[in-house]
Amino acid sequence: MAEAWPDLAGRLKGDVHVLPVRVYFEDTDAGGVVYHARYVAFCERARSDCLRLLGIHQSRFDGLNFVVRRMVCDFLKPARLDDLLEIETRFIDMGGARVEIGQEVMLNGNSLFRAHVTVALVDGTGRPRRLPENMAECFRRFSKS
């Protein structure tokens, strides 16, 4: 088994997960500006890595999956080729099968993109399933850090 790389999944700082992301050519349009859909991909990666660091491994959910139910995005300023971004993820609220998440793409302390994301835990047929207590406790502990 390969040895884990430090900070590959970002880091937890209090109640915030921070994932560094370098902007590569593939992330940009012809003008060298980050293509709008890439911000959503950066945020997806950050949510997955945040869960991983909390000990919630999506590959071990036994037929359950998180799905994005709603996402509200604000594009504030452009990121460009070679920028080193930080994706910040915070858990805002949860209840039943739902988790509310706030995410922000930052460059040198400036906000470029914000998203409010609602995810739901569903089974293999797409029906909502209540968050298991151990998972809910992980979210509560992280939110209170």
Residue 21 token pair: 């992301």
Per DSSP, the three-state class of 36 is helix
- Catalytic residue, from 7, 29, 74, 93: name it: 29
Indicate the helix (H) or strand (E) that contains 40. Answer: helix 36-53
Give the CA angle between residues 76, 43, 52 to the nearest 5°.
Answer: 150
- Which amino acid would we find at residue 62? D
Catalytic annotation present for 27: no
Q: Which of 87, 115, 67 is nearest to 22 (CA)?
A: 87
Q: Annotated active-site positions, please?
A: 29
